[in-house]
Amino acid sequence: MHQVELTDDEYARFCGLIYRTAGIRIAENKRVMVGNRVRRRLRATGIETFAEYFAYLTSPAGAGEMPDFVDAITTNETYFFRDIHHYRWLGGEFLPEMARRATTPGGAGRTPRRIRIWSAACSTGEEPYSIAIEVFSRRPILAGWDIRILGTDISGQALAAARAGRYDARAVRLAEPARRAAFFDEDSNAGRWVVKPDLRALVEWRAHNLLRPITGGPFDCTFIKNVLIYFDRDSKKVVVRNLVEAMAPGGYLVVGPTEGVFDMLDGLERVQSWLYRKPG
């Protein structure tokens, strides 16, 4: 029989640990939610009490448990083409602009013709695959370009699901039927939509904590959506600094509606309430 509720002290200790590890500040009224989520880890590890689990988690022997603890606490909700206007902009404006820049005399004159896009906190992969669908749909104007999309998340389980690329009908509900047919194999027995290899080939996956700088940039476009709502101001500032440092001059930042970082983006030009550009 597992312990029923977190004590005040236990709740504070788990919240402190998730804050130090992932930058996530859990609200004071989330004790039941945190208790339920940690209890899943008690069941999985066969540990009886929250106190023993905390001791294990913070001991050298429990180092391997930390990613599963973070997974249990974080929220991975996502779906294809969430905030559809972001994808309309990507396919309809950003990619054509990149194509134009390369051909305009005095433009960036990029050789090789290259685009790097980062989906930061990509969860189970719907966001980077949606980006990849826009890229694929714009192939005619980007023939011969070297285009890579990087999907990163702190959660190993979320990344494993992203790599598997199998989605239920709910996840793909905003993808038009023609796109579903073009970019997924339907496993109708299992009610799953499986991402086709061509699309997979555009995306790389990597475990990454937003509190740390990223390698592999600079990025011409970065998506940061539906993750910073749980971060406090100090952590948000660290994340924003890491994101902006990794942006290419002239690169774009697509910001989700709940990030709460708009007053931290003063080094960037505001294009839309959700879209920022790095000068240069």
- From the list 38, 133, 154, 162, which residue makes contact with ligand SAM (rule: CB under 6 A)? 154
Which 8-state DSSP code applies to residue 262? Answer: G
- From the list 90, 117, 150, 227, which residue makes contact with ligand SAM (rule: CB under 6 A)? 227
Among 68, 83, 153, 220, which one carries the catalytic annotation?
Answer: 153
- Does residue 64 sit in helix, strand or coil? helix
The amino acid sitting at 144 is G
Nearer to ligand SAM, 189 or 215 (CB): 215
Integer Cα distance of 163 and 147 in angstroms: 18
Q: Is 211 in the site for ligand SAM (CB under 6 A)?
A: yes
Looking at 68-76, 130-138, 141-149, 257-265, which segment touches ligand SAM (CB under 6 A)? Answer: 68-76
Looking at 43-51, 129-137, 192-200, 223-231, which segment touches ligand SAM (CB under 6 A)? Answer: 223-231
119 phi and psi angles, rounded to 5 deg? -100, 100
Looking at 41-49, 87-95, 214-222, 225-233, which segment touches ligand SAM (CB under 6 A)? Answer: 225-233
Integer Cα distance of 183 and 139 in angstroms: 14
Contact string (CB under 6 A) for ligand SAM, positions 7-46, x = contact: ---------------xxx----------------------
4 phi and psi angles, rounded to 5 deg? -80, -55
Could you confirm whether 179 is annotated as catalytic?
no
CA 223 to chain centre: 8
Integer Cα distance of 221 and 244 in angstroms: 11
Integer Cα distance of 42 and 47 in angstroms: 5
List contacts with ligand SAM (CB under 6 A).
22-24, 74-78, 82, 121-123, 127, 153-155, 158, 209-211, 225-227, 256
Catalytic residue IDs:
37, 153
